[in-house]
C-alpha cells in the first residue's frame, strides 16, 4: 500500500512558519512529507530541512517525495524526542522553525496490519515504530485491571472505562485477546446499548488510549517541548498541530510557561525569581481548519494549530 496522508492545516502552517529561503527547519513528524515538501520548495540551496519520523514506511515515502530537494533535505528515522540531540551531532546549533503534526497518519489508520483502527479486524499492534517490543496486544493482555481502567479513563476520557477494563480482564481469562475485532466486541459488551447509539464508534476512545500508551505519545511530547523552544533561533517558530484535548493541553501549558516563566507569588511587586520569557504565543486561540478543508478531509475536524515564537535573548 502506498503511503498516503493528507496534510492537515497545510497552508496555515506554512504561513505561520514564516519560512526564510536560507533558513534551517525541522519537521519532527514527517509522515508522507506533505508539510516538508512545501517547506523545502521555499528554500534555496543555502537552506536546510531535516525531517524525522520513527515509522519506516513514512521515512521511505518521504525520501521519495522529497527527492527533488535532496540537496537541502535530510531524512532521519527517529522519534522527534531525539531530534535536538541529533541536530547538535550534525553541527546545527539552532533552527528557524520546527513543525510537529501529532497523532496517527491516514496511512497508519488505513493499513490493516498496523492494527491502529477499530474498522478492520486484524492483529492488535498499534506501534508507530515497529522496532519497539511493546504492542497494544501486550497492554490489553498483561496490564492489570486497575492500570487498564486508568489508561482508558485518562487517555481515552471514556466514562465507561471501569466497565471496559473489567470486561477486558474477564475475557482474557478464557483466552488471550489477539485482534482488534475481538477487542471491539468486548468494548461493545461493556457499554449499554442505549449509549452506543450516540457519540461515534464505541471503541474509538479505548483505541486512542491504547495507541497513546503503546507509543508513549504524551510523555514524548511533554519531554520535548522545552528543548525544542530552547533550540529555536530568535524569531524562530514552533508550530504544533494537535488532534485531541490531551495533546492540546500539554502544548498550551508549555507555551504559556515559556512566555511567562515567573514563579514569584502574584502579590510580589517585582519579579525576583530571575526566570525570563523565552518568547511569545502567536496564537491566542488555536488556528482551526476552514470549511473547505473540513469538507474535503473529515479527519481534520479535531485539528488545532498553535504557534510559539522565540525572542532574542529568550530564556
Q: Do residue 209 and residue 144 come from a single domain? A: yes
> Based on the structure, what is the number of domains in the chain?
2
Cβ neighbourhood burial of 93 (10 Å; 0-12, 13-18, 19+): exposed
Contact 78, 50 (CB under 8 A): no
Range of the domain at 96: 10-107+218-310
Q: Final residue of a domain: which of 214, 247, 275? A: 214
- Name residue, grid cell 540537496: 71
Q: Do residue 290 and residue 239 come from a single domain? A: yes
Domain presence at residue 5: no
Q: Final residue of a domain: which of 183, 214, 245? A: 214
Cα(1)–Cα(201) distance, rounded to whole angstroms? 25
Q: Do residue 232 and residue 299 come from a single domain? A: yes
Written as nine digits, the cell of 309 is 515564537
Please choose, from the candidates 223, 224, 220, the residue with its C-alpha nearest in 3D space to the C-alpha of residue 212. 220
Note the pLDDT tens digit of each residue in 12-69: 999 999 999 999 999 999 998 999 999 999 999 999 999 999 999 999 999 999 999 9
Residue 67: CATH number of its domain = 3.40.50.150
Phi–psi pair at 98, nearest 5 degrees: -130, 140
Q: Final residue of a domain: which of 157, 182, 214? A: 214
Note the pLDDT tens digit of each residue in 262-272: 999 989 998 89
Cα(127)–Cα(186) distance, rounded to whole angstroms? 21
Domain presence at residue 117: no
Phi–psi pair at 226, nearest 5 degrees: -65, -45
Q: Do residue 153 and residue 285 come from a single domain? A: no
Specify the pTM: 0.93
pLDDT bin (cut points 50, 70, 90) of residue 200 is: confident
Amino acid at each position: 500500500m502506498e503511503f498516503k496522508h493528507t496534510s492537515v492545516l497545510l497552508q496555515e502552517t506554512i504561513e505561520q512558519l514564516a519560512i526564510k529561503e536560507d533558513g534551517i527547519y525541522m519537521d519532527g513528524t514527517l509522515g508522507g512529507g506533505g508539510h516538508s515538501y512545501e517547506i523545502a520548495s521555499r528554500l534555496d540551496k543555502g537552506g536546510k530541512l531535516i525531517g524525522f519520523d520513527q515509522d519506516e514506511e513514512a521515512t521511505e515515502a518521504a525520501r521519495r517525495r522529497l527527492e527533488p530537494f535532496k540537496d537541502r533535505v535530510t531524512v532521519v528515522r527517529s522519534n522527534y524526542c531525539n531530534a535536538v540531540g541529533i541536530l547538535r551531532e550534525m553541527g546545527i546549533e539552532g533552527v528557524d522553525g520546527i513543525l510537529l503534526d501529532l497523532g496517527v497518519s491516514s496511512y497508519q489508520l488505513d493499513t490493516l496490519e498496523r492494527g491502529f483502527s477499530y474498522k478492520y479486524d486484524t492483529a492488535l499492534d498499534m506501534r508507530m515504530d515497529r522496532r519497539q517490543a511493546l504492542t497494544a496486544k501486550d497492554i490489553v493482555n498483561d496490564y492489570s485491571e486497575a492500570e487498564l481502567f486508568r489508561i482508558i479513563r485518562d487517555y481515552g476520557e471514556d466514562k465507561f472505562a471501569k466497565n471496559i477494563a473489567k470486561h477486558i480482564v474477564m475475557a482474557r481469562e478464557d483466552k488471550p485477546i489477539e485482534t482488534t475485532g475481538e477487542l471491539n466486541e468486548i468494548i461493545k459488551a461493556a457499554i449499554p446499548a442505549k449509549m452506543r447509539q450516540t457519540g461515534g464508534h464505541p471503541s474509538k476512545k479505548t483505541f486512542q488510549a491504547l495507541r497513546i500508551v503503546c507509543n508513549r505519545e504524551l510523555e514524548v511530547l511533554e519531554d520535548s517541548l522545552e528543548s525544542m523552544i530552547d533550540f529555536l533561533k530568535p524569531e524562530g517558530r514552533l508550530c504544533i498541530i494537535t488532534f485531541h484535548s490531551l495533546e492540546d493541553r500539554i502544548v498550551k501549558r508549555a507555551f504559556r510557561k515559556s512566555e511567562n516563566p515567573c514563579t514569584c507569588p502574584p502579590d510580589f511587586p517585582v519579579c525576583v525569581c530571575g526566570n525570563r520569557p523565552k518568547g511569545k504565543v502567536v496564537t491566542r486561540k488555536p488556528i482551526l481548519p476552514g470549511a473547505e478543508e473540513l469538507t474535503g478531509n473529515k479527519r481534520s475536524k479535531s485539528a488545532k494549530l498553535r504557534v510559539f515564537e522565540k525572542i532574542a535573548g529568550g530564556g
